[in-house]
Amino acid sequence: MAGRLPPLNPLRAFEAAARLGSLTRAAAELHVTHGAVSHQIRVLETWLGVKLFERAGQRLKLTAHGAELLPTVSAAFEDIAAATARMTRPTTSGALSVACVPALLSLWLLPRIGSFIGRYPEIRLSFSASNDPDSIHSSDVDVAILYGDGSWADCWVKLWTSLELFPVASPTLINNRPIRSIRDIGDHVILHGDDGREWHTWLAAADALDLKRGQQLFFSDARLAIEAAVHGLGIALGDTITAASLLAKGQLVAPFNLAVPATDAFYVACRKNVRATPIVSVFVDWLFAELKEDDARAEPQLTAQRAVRR
């Protein structure tokens, strides 16, 4: 088969020149010189043993042989372009199901997902609010973003970001009942997004494990605890990812300059057999790229805060 095919570069030069009716325009499309296009056409004419163009100054006119060859060559290049499009289409079309920690889904992912939708409009996204590691192995979930220690077996797992924890409260609550010292926390309702371990971690770092505790409310996830804090029900623990936008908008304030590393972190995970699929790859790549952009945007603010503290 290869022995019966003309050389491909001369065919490309012929097709472009015939379609555009100009050697100059063909050279611009192919990003080569005018002379290179002319040379490639002469190579093809020599190989075929026929004339393909009648040249009259700058004008090109197909000969009978050229007019016979052009439709076949054009169709062949169109078929190649269509096949290439079909090969790349899986990266930009199809269904993708994402399970995500509720707080991260509500407060970080959804406000940013528009950029992903704009880039990949043919991907049909579905979301579920969950922090269940079993979702990694569910056929109904393609990608899971989980909060935990990352020690999940028989799957692909990668650390997305670690966190720092710090108390947050609504400005109204603090205005009504000021928090001037860590001991003042005992006069407020403590809001938990877990079984109490994270508050224990922060109070230990603050040397306040003996703090007198008043009323406490426990929620099934951090999102609900944060929402309760926004509504002025008490003091919750925020983190550097999910609470950032609420702090920036002034819906929450951080009364203390003490943040401690969380024991757990956010991880991206999926089944090993789907990790290499293009649709999963583009979403995972987007997640890490978006986080990197967040870090870049936050750095000037952190620098300014450090300067003020100094």
Residue 50 CB partners (closer than 8 Å, separation 6+): 63, 65
State the helix-helix crossing angle for 34-48 and 8-20, rounded to 10 degrees.
110
| Whether residue 129 sits in one domain with residue 9 | no
Asked which of 34, 55, 89 is the last residue of a domain, the reply is 89
Same domain (yes/no): 7, 65: yes
- Of 263, 279, 298, the residue at which a domain comes to its end is 263
Residues in a beta bridge with 18: none
155 and 234 in a single domain? The answer is no
Residues 6+ apart with CB under 8 A from 10: 40, 41, 43, 44, 47
- Determine the 3-state secondary structure of 57 from DSSP: coil
Mean pLDDT of the chain: 88
Tally of structural domains, the chain: 3
Are 48 and 71 in the same domain? Answer: yes
177 and 238 co-located in one domain: yes
Residue 50's CATH number: 1.10.10.10
Question: Nearest to residue 288, comparing CAs of 125, 101, 161?
Answer: 161
Among 35, 62, 89, which residue terminates a domain? Answer: 89
Alpha carbon 77 to its chain centroid, in Å, reads: 34
Give yes or no: residues 40 and 85 share one domain.
Answer: yes
Contact 103/221 with Cβ under 8 angstroms?
yes
18 plus 130 within the same structural domain: no
Do 274 and 158 belong to one domain? yes
Q: Are residues 157 and 298 in the same domain?
A: yes
| CA pair distance 53, 65, nearest whole angstrom | 9
Condensed to tens digits (0 to 9), the pLDDT of residues 47-90 reads 999 999 987 666 788 999 989 999 999 888 887 876 665 565 55
Average pLDDT over residues 28-57: 89
Quick one: average pLDDT of 102-113?
A: 94
Q: Are residue 123 and residue 112 in the same domain, yes or no? A: yes
The pLDDT, as a whole number, for residue 303 is 40
CATH number of the domain within which 182 lies: 3.40.190.10
Map residue 268 onto helix, strand or coil.
strand
Q: What is the pLDDT of residues 121-176, one digit of tens each?
A: 999 999 999 999 999 999 999 999 999 999 999 999 999 999 999 999 999 999 99
> Which tens digit of pLDDT belongs to each residue from 251-286?
999 999 999 999 999 999 999 989 988 999 999 999
pLDDT at 113 > cutoff 90: yes
Nearest by Cα to 220 from 84, 297, 129:
129
62-67 long-range contacts (CB < 8 A, ≥24 apart) are 62/18, 66/14, 66/18
Containing H/E element for 159?
strand 156-168
Q: Are residues 245 and 171 in the same domain?
A: yes
Distance CA(198)–CA(263), nearest Å, equals 8
- For 217, the domain range is 163-263
Question: Nearest Cα to 206, choosing from 190, 185, 223?
Answer: 185
Task: Please tell me whether residues 8 and 83 are part of one structural domain.
Answer: yes
Tokens of 258: 């003490």
Helix, strand, or coil (residue 139): coil
